[in-house]
Amino acid sequence: MGSWRLYAAVAAGGFRRYATYRAATFAGVFTNTVFGVILVYTYLALWDEKPHLGGYDQAQAVTYVWLGQCLYSTLAIQGGGAEKDVIERIRTGEIAVDLYRPADLQLWWLASDLGRSLFQLIGRGVIPFAFGALFFPMALPTDATSWLALLVALLLAMVVSFGIRYLAALSVFWLMDGMGIMQAVMITGVFCSGIVFPLNAFPGVLGDIVRALPWAAQLQMPADVLMGETDPLGAYAFQATWAVVLLAAGRLLQSAATRRVVVQGG
Amino acid sequence: MAETSRLGEGVRAYRLIAGMWIRSAMTYRTSFVVTMCANLVMTGLDFVGILLMFSQVDSLGGWGLPEIAFLYGLSVTAFGIADLVLGSMDVLGSRIRDGSFDILLVRPAPVLAQIGADRFAVRRLGRITQGTVVLGWALTSVEVDWSAAKVLLVPLMVVSSAAIFCAVFVAGAAFQIFAQDASEVQNAFTYGGTTLLQYPPTVFGKDFVRGVTFVLPLAFVNWVPASYVLGRPYPLELPGWAAFTPPLVAVACAALAGLAWRAGLGSYRSTGS
Amino acid sequence: MDAFIELDRVEKVFDVRKKTGFLKRERRQVRAVDSISFTVARGEMVGYIGPNGAGKSTTIKMLTGILTPSGGRLRVAGIDPSRERTRLAHRIGVVFGQRTTLWWDLPLIDSYRLMHRMYRIPDARYRENLDRCVELLELVDLLDVPVRQLSLGQRMRGDIAAALLHDPEVLYLDEPTIGLDVISKAKVRGFLRELNTERGTTVLLTTHDLQDIEQLCSRVMVIDHGRLMYDGPLAGLHEVGESERTLVVDLERELPPIVAAPARVVRVEGPRQWLAFPASESAAALVARVAAEYPLVDLSVREPDIEAVIAKMYAGEAEKAVS
């Protein structure tokens, strides 16, 4: 199929674009490592106080921290992926050009964002994770299946993450300014993804709510899949459901936005 | 004499430029209100993260919630002040890349003041507000035998820490002149620093604490005096008067940052054509 | 003569690191400006031209104190720019063609008010200068318009005004007419000429547009590869470069090539013919001769562009070197 080659090329472009920012990548690795160290110490103290918090033992809690740092930019948890470009193109009106391209707008940006994610995973994510594994006790599986299961969960997490951010970006068609929505993406992303505190350890009803929201598909699910804390198939079903819902919603919003652009005459 | 007039010039230029940014922000009124609210929510949720931890445990590293709130309030208020004053210095890298830094250099005002006031944003008051609220609550909840020295120490800590965070921002800006797209490195020191100081030193490894205290004197201005106020042992074997040295540490940091900035500016090479 | 700008063997060397492999980098030194010396007297209007990357902007940046020279001596109004940048800033005006000093989201007048206070311009002086700029640059309807809504030409005029409110003794312009339409170009040029004659402001401009130079500058400096290749009147540059202008003639019908020495036909396309003639020759005489002897429909004169002039100049230099 010709169109698959097109999207593969777009994804490769997204990968290469981020690969050119070498200093930024090194800086990011450094920052993620520092944050990882700070968080690990607080988690160790926390789990000292209350072993098996959220169903994790200490080594699992440490693993959770470093996986979080590894996925922080991969999943653009506080924003900063394709949605930034989309918002900029909406603001400048260049998006009208994209709408007439012989490619699907949503798939185009999804491919580009997946390319970016892949680079961030390899370029920015792996080193802090390896650092963590080297200097702190971690609960890493030794069988290849668990790692493979993680990769599948990560791919689904990337799609969910894109789905959320793409919806946010499209809202700028109506809001005209991206500042507020970018901040909303950041707040919800940081709080609901469990990057600060594992969702499994959230108390009571609040815990039930955050574990049902799409952000749970980003860090919590892959972490549990990696550490064998959940049935991978159940986790995939949860992630895939949110991926489909978000992409479908994105599609609806996109066609509404397209009509709006056409009515306004570009 | 010459130095004080330069400082005056800098403050004046800073006020002028910050004023322009406030007016610019006001032209998008809705967005201004939205970002202001979002900022309050965002910084608020930051403390909710700590409350979540305490929903599961009663103490962390042997420190209770009011005591950690005290650390948190001090650190966040100080960082909030520095962030309001110099928080946009990370745009320096992109200004150098697009060449607009040159424009600042041909104006008759200290560049540091101009770049400090760049993208000045009132919404950054959100963090200060939240930090002060938490600090206020902590001050009424901690059990402390207040003495004149302890009362005096609280504002002194906030101001000194704010100055140290400012110094970190300036040093980070100087670093950006060499490596323009590495602005994220300074996040490790600024955001990382304020996160670190929110937790008690007993949480961290001894070597780690030693490193932060002497290599990066951040810890010094928060952990040591806070321990003194709360009547807890110092994180390292230090004499009793160490709690009163933050202003000196702040001045030393500011001087070092100033030197770094001068060196950075001297080696500025502008872009391409 | 009062030398206002003085350069004595000024150099600027950059360390360039080039990626040669995945992790390998090669360091080498690039001489962006290579031992340049010249002086500009107060009140002169000088064109500073050369191909891209020749070192024009680097020179301007050293003159304004943005960059520190690697060697040589440089003075503007007796001040060493990189040492006393802020003091010098009060006495110079700078317009960067591609970057604006104006505030994007605010009405134009707000940017001027900032200049008023930042440069500590006395009130009466400010008002007088602003009124003059507003009148001559036709800004009166634009003062309350947010800068982001201005066209490129309007913004350039706005930028020029912003650079002049504090009465600078010298004005540096980096590509002031780039991207502007014909009318805006004419307005900008007219204003600069007036500024120079009425106020005696020294003007140094870099440009790609030879017409800027022809209409404004009595003196041209050509720089290439960081070296000063030519310094003198524009006419002299034409001689040195032996450059040619082109007369494009549309005849009533197809005819054999026109004979009108010293012009020679370089191209024929149906009824249209291209005649090259030395830039030092008068075009009027040639046009008169052609019109008298051939059935003319239309004609136009094309100026040589800077690149062509400079290329010819090099060709000439090379020939001299050989002979």
Chain B residue with minimum CA distance to C89: B108
Residue C28: beta bridge partners? C16
How high is the pLDDT of residue B45?
87
Rg (CA), chain B: 20
Nearest-angstrom CA–CA distance, A156 and A152: 6
**Is B106 within 8 Å of chain C by CB?**
yes
How high is the pLDDT of residue B99?
86
Residue C321 lies in a domain: no
Shared-domain flag, residues C113 and C260:
no
Shared-domain flag, residues C119 and C69:
yes
Last residue of a domain, one of C194, C216, C238: C238
- Enumerate the residues of chain B whose CB falls inside 8 A of the CB of residue C92: 106
> What is the strand order of the sheet C3-19 is part of?
C25-41, C3-19, C71-76
pLDDT in tens, B124-177: 999 999 999 999 999 999 999 999 999 999 999 999 999 999 999 999 999 888
Shared-domain flag, residues C148 and C269:
no
- Comparison of pLDDT for A33 and C321, the residue scoring more: A33
pLDDT in tens, B187-203: 888 889 899 999 999 99
Residue C112 lies in a domain: yes
For residue C158, is pLDDT > 90? yes
CB contact under 8 A, B24 and C114: no
Shared-domain flag, residues C149 and C278:
no
How high is the pLDDT of residue A265?
43
As a whole number, the mean pLDDT across chain A is 92
**Is C119 within 8 Å of chain B by CB?**
yes
What would the mean pLDDT of C258-270 be, rounded to a whole number?
80
H or E segment and range at residue C49: strand C45-49
Shared-domain flag, residues C179 and C223:
yes
How high is the pLDDT of residue C315?
63
- Enumerate the residues of chain B whose CB falls inside 8 A of the CB of residue C65: 105-106
CB contact under 8 A, B110 and C90: no
CB contact under 8 A, A45 and B203: yes
For residue A24, is pLDDT > 80? yes
pLDDT in tens, A134-149: 999 999 999 999 999 9
The minimum CA-CA distance between C277 and chain B, rounded to whole Å, is 34
How high is the pLDDT of residue B3?
67
Among B21, B31, B65, which would you mutate to test the A interface (most chain A Cβ atoms within 10 Å of its Cβ)?
B31
What would the mean pLDDT of C272-286 be, rounded to a whole number?
80
How high is the pLDDT of residue A181?
84
For residue C236, is pLDDT > 80? no
Residue C265 lies in a domain: yes
Nearest-angstrom CA–CA distance, B190 and B166: 9
How high is the pLDDT of residue B273?
38
As a whole number, the mean pLDDT across chain C is 86
For residue C154, is pLDDT > 80? yes
Q: A64 and A150 in contact (C-beta within 8 Å)?
A: no
What would the mean pLDDT of C20-41 be, rounded to a whole number?
82
Distance of CA C299 to the CA centre of its chain: 28
**Is A209 within 8 Å of chain B by CB?**
no
Cβ burial of A4 (10 Å; 0-12, 13-18, 19+) is exposed
pLDDT in tens, A156-204: 999 999 999 999 999 988 877 787 788 889 889 999 999 999 999 999 9
Q: Which residue has the tokens 């930034």?
A: A84
CB contact under 8 A, B31 and A35: no
Nearest-angstrom CA–CA distance, C186 and B88: 40
CB-CB neighbours of B214 under 10 Å: 11
The minimum CA-CA distance between B93 and chain C, rounded to whole Å, is 16
How high is the pLDDT of residue C272?
86
Shared-domain flag, residues C113 and C255:
no
Nearest-angstrom CA–CA distance, A111 and A6: 9
List the end-to-end C-alpha distance of chain A, in Å, as a whole number: 31
Cβ burial of A106 (10 Å; 0-12, 13-18, 19+) is middle
Q: What are phi and psi of B249, to 5 degrees?
A: -60, -40
- Comparison of pLDDT for A248 and B236, the residue scoring more: A248
**High-pLDDT (> 70) share of chain A, %:** 97
Query: Considering Cα of B157, then B160, then B166, then B169, what sign does the dihedral take?
Result: negative
Whether the bond into B235 is cis, omega within 30 of 0: no
- Predicted structure pTM score: 0.85
Query: What is the amino acid identity at position A45?
Result: A
Nearest by CB: A34 against B28, B182, B188? B188
Residue C139 lies in a domain: yes
How high is the pLDDT of residue C276?
83
Shared-domain flag, residues C251 and C152:
no
Q: Flag the least confident range among B234-243, C56-65, C205-214.
A: C205-214
Nearest-angstrom CA–CA distance, A70 and B4: 47
Query: Considering Cα of A112, then A113, then A115, then A116, what sign does the dihedral take?
Result: positive
Shared-domain flag, residues C190 and C264:
no
How high is the pLDDT of residue A97?
81
CB contact under 8 A, B56 and A46: yes
**Is B268 within 8 Å of chain C by CB?**
yes
Nearest-angstrom CA–CA distance, C60 and C63: 5
**B272 confidence band (pLDDT: 50, 70, 90):** very low
Task: Return the DSSP state at C305.
Answer: P
Tell me the CATH number at C83.
3.40.50.300
Nearest-angstrom CA–CA distance, B154 and B226: 8
* Range picked from A174-188, A238-252, B24-38 for highest mean pLDDT: A238-252
Query: Considering Cα of A53, then A56, then A59, then A60, what sign does the dihedral take?
Result: negative
Residues 6+ apart with CB under 8 A from A265: none
Count of CA atoms in the C-beta half-sphere (13 A) of B38: 17
CB-CB neighbours of B117 under 10 Å: 23
Of C294, C201, C209, which Cα lies nearest the Cα of C247? Answer: C294
How high is the pLDDT of residue C76?
95
**B60: region left, alpha or beta (phi > 0 left; psi from -120 to 50 alpha):** beta
| CA angle (A38, A39, A40) in 5-degree steps | 95
How high is the pLDDT of residue C23?
61
What would the mean pLDDT of A260-266 be, rounded to a whole number?
56
Residue C315 lies in a domain: no
Residue C318 lies in a domain: no
Mark which residues 127-156 of C lie under 8 Å from B by CB: 146
Q: A157 and A121 in contact (C-beta within 8 Å)?
A: no
Distance of CA A146 to the CA centre of its chain: 20
- Comparison of pLDDT for B233 and A3, the residue scoring more: B233
The minimum CA-CA distance between C105 and chain B, rounded to whole Å, is 6
Dihedral over alpha carbons A112, A118, A122, A125 (to 10 degrees) = 100
pLDDT in tens, B60-105: 999 999 999 999 999 999 999 999 999 888 788 888 888 889 999 9
Residue C121 lies in a domain: yes
pLDDT in tens, C86-117: 999 999 999 987 788 999 889 999 999 999 99
- Comparison of pLDDT for A181 and A15, the residue scoring more: A15
How high is the pLDDT of residue B20?
96
Of C206, C228, C175, which Cα lies nearest the Cα of C31? Answer: C228
Q: A178 and A172 in contact (C-beta within 8 Å)?
A: yes
CB contact under 8 A, B106 and C110: no
Last residue of a domain, one of C191, C222, C238: C238
What would the mean pLDDT of B108-127 be, rounded to a whole number?
92
Residue C71: beta bridge partners? C11
Nearest-angstrom CA–CA distance, B170 and B176: 10
**Is A35 within 8 Å of chain B by CB?**
yes
Residue C180 lies in a domain: yes
- Enumerate the residues of chain B whose CB falls inside 8 A of the CB of residue C118: 13, 16, 107-109
Shared-domain flag, residues C12 and C159:
yes
CB contact under 8 A, C106 and B110: no
Nearest-angstrom CA–CA distance, C252 and C266: 19
How high is the pLDDT of residue A221?
97
As a whole number, the mean pLDDT across chain B is 90
The minimum CA-CA distance between B163 and chain C, rounded to whole Å, is 26
Last residue of a domain, one of C192, C207, C238: C238
- Enumerate the residues of chain B whose CB falls inside 8 A of the CB of residue A27: 179, 181-185
Nearest-angstrom CA–CA distance, A163 and A157: 10
How high is the pLDDT of residue B1?
47
Shared-domain flag, residues C163 and C265:
no
Q: Flag the least confident range among C6-15, C56-65, C276-285.
A: C276-285
Tell me the ipTM for this assembly: 0.88
Q: B219 and B161 in contact (C-beta within 8 Å)?
A: no
What would the mean pLDDT of B242-271 be, rounded to a whole number?
90
> C264 lies in which domain range?
244-303
Nearest-angstrom CA–CA distance, B215 and B228: 21
How high is the pLDDT of residue A168?
94
Q: Which residue has the tokens 């807890």?
A: B232
Mark which residues 62-91 of C lie under 8 Å from B by CB: 64-68, 85-87, 89-90
Query: Considering Cα of B57, then B63, then B66, then B69, what sign does the dihedral take?
Result: negative
Cβ burial of C87 (10 Å; 0-12, 13-18, 19+) is middle
Shared-domain flag, residues C133 and C170:
yes
Shared-domain flag, residues C29 and C122:
yes
Tell me how many domains chain C contains: 2
**Is C61 within 8 Å of chain B by CB?**
yes
Nearest-angstrom CA–CA distance, C306 and B174: 40
Helix runs in chain C, H state only: 56-63, 85-89, 108-118, 123-136, 152-164, 182-194, 210-216, 234-241, 283-293, 306-322
**Is B29 within 8 Å of chain C by CB?**
no
For residue A266, is pLDDT > 50? no
Nearest-angstrom CA–CA distance, C304 and C210: 8
